């Protein structure tokens, strides 16, 4: 026993003690009374890794032993020194060397000595072990069945930056970061109301990632919150949550659908807007992307600065995005179908122009379209993976030189290049990247159908896609609402952007507990 | 899982789409052959007859809350005769679905894709119908409402765009040969307006069953509006004998639309809404057929039945007619009687049986 303790305190043990890894529904590890047993248990739970430090010290001049356990590198050493080690070691009371009851010592340390805001008591060792691994310091004392956790974590994090993916012309220019607490703070900063609630869970068997559910109590429908909680149970049983995308994959309704059923955002203001609509947000540690549920398909044509610009412009831009969505999905296939089967449908002068352009192109329209679309995908992927400076070069080489050369070499017709470019631009018009991916993948299938069945093939594809979309649900809410099932008042709010003073109700689709957004009659009346 | 419920608006849109999708295509020619200039009167009469049927079906269903037509059959006639009636309905639904599939492929191959083998079209649309029916009534209803809105929008557009070229004097003289020929024509249209009896099959899934008659009436009125106004515009555009000689008068009508020499060839839009409408109709019919099969054979789930059913319908639709002309003849002559037997006869029989049963019970209670 003593040997073992010595080894522990010498913090030199390399091999694992052979204990099995605690399961997610781990056995209960009650904190033992004796200091030695505590150290042993905590050591086993943490695993004897080289970066864990067991610091043994004395409380002031007394001979009471205190052990501080922490992981090197995750801890803010200066603060730890200032607020734990110094007060404990320099503790100086009148009746020196006199040992008080362990309980009193414990209370003394907890209440008077450690000068840190967040301090937690644990009667269960597993929780304490996880805290140590998150960068906190655990204080072990003899003779009491409790341990103290002091928040000393100083996790490596980058500074707040503007959102990389969702840039906005107008609106807050700060994005979420990798640290859950920072993200929660960013939300809280915009929503200073007691109704904002966070519940923190832990997901991932090995990663033990913190996951926070946030919602507005009294606004959100409690059934949705309950559903989210219940589905998040599954993330505890997987081995790792590296990104909110992992959670998305585990809790969405239809995993086989190409369409994303959960929206993610990098913008705190967007997350807050979702909370105000009666949705639930899921913040994942290590991920700057916050999930919001339930999600509607038409939400993906919305961007947050629609609400910050004048409402005319917001409505207009939304109406523009809908044809863009259709173009991104259907334009190449319509071109292929028209050129291949339905030449009679193209106006005469246009078909003349197209035909002259296609003269000398050796491929049928289908091959041409697939070729160009594939090249476009190559360029896009190359541009994403390369560093910014080289990425620009790739797009210049790809778009200008390759496109121009392909036309001059008569490999593709200029019309096809226009079609593909237009399709690409339209897909960039959609604020949501993950929807654009779905459209890109589906586009290839539709081109093939168009080349075999003509316009009928496109129609069939459209019908199947639409049927699939209306059959989806996101956390109990039909994905295509408010379009189907039709909900006119909510549709107005989604297709257009009504002026703020006219939005008196929250969208009824999410069945909010409190559907009043504001007092009616907020329309500005100057001079009154 | 929550029980399947569809709202009144969804039911209206679904029924209207079901009737309208094929009704805009075939009846204008068939009725023009029978009723000549007065085809629009025949449409109006047919719609009115449909309203009566909707009243009957809604009345019957309200006597048996939570039951669809075949379940009512078993409740009213007893298990044996009820099953027999159900089997007859099942047969009817299968034929019905096959006819709609055939109508689809004959239209597409005549008007649009003459080189594609029609068998292929039959199979494709059957598979599509299977897919939507497999996803359930709620999904069909949701597709239905979107399709209904686009049908209404485009049909209104077609009607409005052609307004300047109409010559209403071509409708005169009204009722030249008396009421007989419009009445004969209206019998043909009753095949379509009689399809409102499908209301009896979705009655248990209505969120507000007390609105059943309103649902039926609203969908019939929409259908009636478009057919009467469509038939008036066709007559006043083409004139009497021509309409009856065009195979698909509406298609020819839409082909004539030309605005600013730019907005032309709108028949692509017509085909679009038509295919979408027929898709909803076939999916709905598949669903109803599977539902009847489940009822007749007392099965637990109807979904495994759908794929074999789709295969059966596809084959049947290929075998049913030799060509479009034969299909037209069939639609004109035996089919109205056959369809009337099921769409109106069945509900009427059940209503009478129920009526006499309650009468008998009341009488026996008195003694």
Cα distances from A184 to residues A150, A189, A194, A230, A299, in angstroms, run 20, 8, 14, 21, 23
Q: How far is B275 from chain A (nearest CA, A)?
A: 8
Residues constituting chain A: 528
Query: How close B310 gets to chain A, by Cα (Å)?
Result: 16
Q: Among A467, A473, A487, A509, which would you mutate to test the B interface (most chain B Cβ atoms within 10 Å of its Cβ)?
A: A467
CB B103 within 8 A of CB B278: yes
DSSP for residue A259: S
Q: How many helices (H) and strands (E) does chain B have?
A: 17, 0
- In A, minimum Cα distance to B9 occurs at A486
Q: Cα–Cα distance between B43 and B221 in angstroms, integer?
A: 11
CATH of B8-332, one of 1.20.1740.10, 3.40.50.720, 3.30.450.20, 1.25.40.20: 1.20.1740.10
Residue of chain A minimizing CA distance to B137: A471
| pLDDT band for position A280 (cuts 50, 70, 90) | very high
In which residue ranges of chain B is pLDDT below 50?
A: 1
- Tokens for A7, please give them: 């080894």
* Average pLDDT over every residue of A378-393: 78
Give all strands of the β-sheet with A137-141 in edge-to-edge order. A52-58, A65-71, A137-141, A147-150, A119-122
Interface test with A, best of B104, B123, B146 (most A CBs within 10 A): B146
Band (A12; pLDDT cuts 50, 70, 90): very low
Q: Kindly report the number of other CB atoms within 10 A of residue A316's CB atom.
A: 15
- Interchain CB distance below 8 Å, B108 and A464: no
Query: Is B113's CB within 8 Å of A464's CB?
Result: no
Q: Report ipTM (2 d.p.).
A: 0.90
Judge: B276–A459 Cβ closer than 8 Å, yes or no.
yes
Question: Is B128 close to A460, i.e. CB distance below 8 A?
Answer: yes
Task: Tell me the pLDDT band of A528, cut-offs 50, 70 and 90.
Answer: low
Contacts of B282 in chain A (CB under 8 A): none
B108 touches A at CB < 8 Å: yes
Name the residue in chain A with its Cα closest to that of B255: A345
Q: Is B352 on the interface with A (CB under 8 A)?
A: no
Given an 8 Å threshold on Cβ–Cβ distance, is B142 in contact with A344?
A: no
**How large is the average pLDDT for residues A313-330?**
89
In the structure encoding, which two tokens stand for residue A59, read together? 């409380």
- A468 exposed, middle or buried (CB, 10 Å; 0-12, 13-18, 19+)? buried
Distance between B360 CA and the closest CA of chain A, angstroms:
45
Nearest residue, CB atoms, A460 vs list B7, B116, B124 = B124
Tell me if B143 and A456 make a contact (CB, 8 A cut-off).
Answer: no
If you measure CA to CA, which chain B residue comes closest to A483?
A: B146
DSSP result, B140-152: HHHHHHHHHHHHH
HSE value, Cβ hemisphere, 13 Å, CA-based, for A423? 30
Distance CA A91, CA A79 (A): 17
Asked if B276 and A463 come within 8 Å (Cβ–Cβ), the reply is yes
Q: A216 vs A172, A272, A282, CA distance in Å?
A: 21, 10, 13
DSSP sequence for B96-141 = HHHHHHHHHHHHHHHHT-TTS-HHHHHHHHHHHHHHHHHH-HHHHH
- One-character DSSP codes across A467-514: HHHHH-EETTEETTTTTTTT-HHHHHHHHS---GGG--B--GGG--S-
Pairing between β-strand A477-478 and β-strand A290-293 as defined by DSSP bridges: unpaired
Q: What is the mean pLDDT of residues A111-118?
A: 81
Instruction: Tell me how far CA of residue A494 lies from CA of A465, A480, B200, B239, B299, in angstroms.
Output: 20, 11, 35, 46, 43
Question: Does A101 have pLDDT greater than 70?
Answer: yes
Reply yes or no on whether the pLDDT at A19 is more than 50.
Answer: no
**How far is residue A30's CA from residue A145's CA, in Å, rounded to a whole number?**
8
Greater confidence (B110 vs A257) lies with: A257
pLDDT (tens digit, 9 = 90+) per residue, A150-178? 888 887 778 888 888 788 888 888 999 98
Q: Mutual orientation of helices B8-23 and B212-238 as an angle, nearest 10°?
A: 30
Give the pLDDT mean for A108-120: 81
CA A379 vs CA A164, A328, A404: distances in Å: 20, 17, 15
Contact A482, A507 (CB under 8 A): yes
The token pair that represents A520 in the structure block: 């009616």
A:B CB pairs within 8 Å: 66
- Residue B196's Cα: distance from chain center in Å? 7
Residues of chain B neighbouring A256 (CB-CB closer than 8 A): none
Per-domain boundaries in chain B: 8-332
Q: Which of B113, B135, B142 sits opposite A456 (nearest CB)?
A: B113
Do residue B108 and residue A456 have CB atoms under 8 angstroms apart? yes
**Candidate from A63-72, A123-132, B29-38 with smallest mean pLDDT:** B29-38
Give A467→chain B minimum CA distance, Å: 6
Helices B180-193 & B27-35, crossing angle to 10 degrees?
A: 160
- Res A8 pLDDT > 60: no
């Amino acid at each position: 026993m003593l040997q073992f303790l010595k080894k522990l305190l010498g913090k030199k043990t390399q091999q694992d003690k052979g204990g099995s890894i605690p399961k997610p529904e781990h056995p209960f590890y009650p904190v033992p009374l004796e200091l030695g047993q505590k150290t042993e248990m905590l050591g086993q739970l943490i695993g004897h890794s080289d970066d864990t430090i067991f610091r043994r010290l004395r409380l002031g001049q007394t001979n009471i032993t205190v052990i501080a356990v922490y992981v090197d590198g995750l801890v803010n050493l200066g603060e730890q020194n200032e607020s734990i080690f110094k007060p404990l070691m320099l503790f100086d009371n009148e009746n020196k060397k006199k040992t008080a009851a362990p309980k009193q010592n414990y209370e003394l340390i907890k209440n008077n000595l450690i000068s840190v805001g967040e301090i937690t008591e644990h009667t269960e060792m597993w929780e304490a072990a996880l805290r140590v691994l998150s960068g906190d310091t655990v204080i072990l004392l003899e003779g009491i069945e409790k341990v103290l956790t002091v928040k000393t974590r100083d996790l490596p994090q980058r500074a707040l930056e503007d959102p990389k993916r969702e840039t906005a012309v107008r609106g807050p220019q700060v994005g979420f970061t990798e640290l859950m607490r920072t993200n929660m703070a960013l939300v809280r900063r915009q929503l200073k109301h007691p109704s904002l609630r966070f519940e923190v869970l832990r997901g991932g068997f090995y990663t033990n990632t913190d996951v926070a559910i946030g919602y507005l109590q009294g606004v959100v429908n409690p059934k949705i919150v309950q559903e989210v909680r219940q589905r998040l149970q599954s993330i505890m049983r997987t081995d790792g949550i590296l990104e909110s995308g992992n959670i998305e994959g585990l809790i969405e309704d239809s995993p086989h659908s190409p369409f994303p059923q959960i929206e993610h955002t990098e913008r705190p203001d967007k997350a807050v807007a979702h909370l105000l609509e009666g949705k639930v947000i899921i913040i994942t540690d290590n991920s700057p992307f916050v999930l919001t549920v339930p999600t509607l398909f038409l939400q993906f044509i919305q961007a947050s600065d629609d609400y910050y610009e004048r409402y005319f412009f917001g409505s207009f831009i939304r109406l523009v995005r809908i044809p863009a969505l259709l173009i991104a999905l259907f334009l190449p296939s319509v071109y292929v179908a028209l050129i291949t089967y339905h030449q009679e449908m193209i106006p005469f002068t246009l078909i003349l122009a197209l035909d002259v352009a296609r003269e000398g192109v050796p491929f049928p329209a289908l091959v041409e379209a697939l070729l160009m679309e594939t090249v476009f995908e190559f360029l896009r992927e190359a541009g994403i993976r390369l560093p910014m400076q080289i990425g620009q070069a790739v797009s210049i080489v790809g778009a200008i030189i390759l496109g121009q050369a392909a036309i001059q070499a008569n490999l593709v017709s200029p019309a096809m290049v226009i079609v593909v470019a237009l399709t690409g631009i339209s897909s960039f018009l959609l604020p949501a990247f993950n929807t654009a991916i779905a459209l890109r993948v589906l586009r290839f299938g539709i081109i093939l159908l168009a080349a075999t069945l003509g316009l009928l093939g496109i129609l069939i594809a459209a019908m199947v896609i639409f049927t699939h979309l209306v059959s989806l649900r996101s956390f109990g809410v039909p994905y295509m609402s408010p379009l189907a099932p039709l909900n006119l008042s909510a549709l107005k709010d989604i297709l257009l952007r009504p002026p703020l003073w006219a939005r008196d109700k929250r969208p009824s689709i999410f069945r909010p507990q409190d559907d009043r957004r504001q007092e009616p009659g907020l329309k500005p009346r100057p001079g009154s | 899982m929550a029980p399947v419920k569809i709202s009144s608006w969804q039911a209206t849109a679904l029924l209207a789409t079901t009737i309208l999708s094929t009704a805009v295509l075939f009846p204008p020619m068939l009725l023009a052959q029978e009723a000549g200039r007065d085809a629009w009167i025949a449409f109006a009469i047919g719609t009115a007859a449909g309203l009566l049927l909707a009243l009957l079906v809604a009345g019957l269903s309200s006597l048996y809350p939570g039951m669809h037509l075949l379940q009512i059959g078993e409740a009213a006639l007893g298990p044996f005769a009820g099953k027999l009636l159900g089997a007859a309905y099942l047969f009817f639904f299968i034929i019905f679905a096959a006819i709609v599939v055939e109508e689809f492929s004959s239209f597409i191959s005549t008007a649009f894709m003459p080189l594609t083998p029609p068998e292929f079209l039959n199979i494709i649309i059957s598979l599509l119908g299977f897919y939507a029916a497999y996803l359930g009534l709620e999904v069909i209803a949701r597709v239905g409402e979107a399709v209904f809105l686009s049908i209404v929008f485009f049909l209104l557009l077609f009607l409005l765009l052609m307004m300047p070229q109409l010559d209403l004097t071509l409708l005169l003289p009204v009722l030249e040969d008396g009421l007989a020929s419009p009445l004969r024509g209206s019998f043909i249209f009753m095949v379509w307006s009689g399809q409102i009896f499908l209301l009896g099959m979705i009655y248990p899934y209505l969120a507000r069953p007390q609105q059943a008659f309103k649902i039926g009436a609203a969908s019939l009125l929409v259908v009636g509006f478009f057919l009467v106004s469509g038939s008036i515009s066709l007559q006043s555009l083409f004139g009497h004998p021509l309409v009856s000689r065009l195979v698909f008068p509406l298609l020819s009508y839409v082909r004539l639309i030309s605005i600013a020499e730019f907005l032309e060839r709108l028949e692509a839009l017509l085909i679009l809404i038509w295919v979408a409408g027929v898709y909803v109709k076939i999916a709905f019919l598949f669903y109803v057929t599977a539902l009847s099969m489940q009822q007749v054979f007392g099965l637990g789930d109807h979904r495994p039945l759908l794929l074999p059913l789709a295969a059966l319908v596809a084959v049947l639709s290929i075998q049913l007619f030799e060509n479009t002309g034969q299909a037209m003849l069939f639609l004109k002559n035996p089919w109205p009687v056959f369809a009337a037997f099921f769409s109106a006869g069945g509900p009427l029989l059940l209503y009478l049986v129920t009526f006499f049963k309650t009468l008998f019970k009341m009488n026996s209670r008195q003694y």
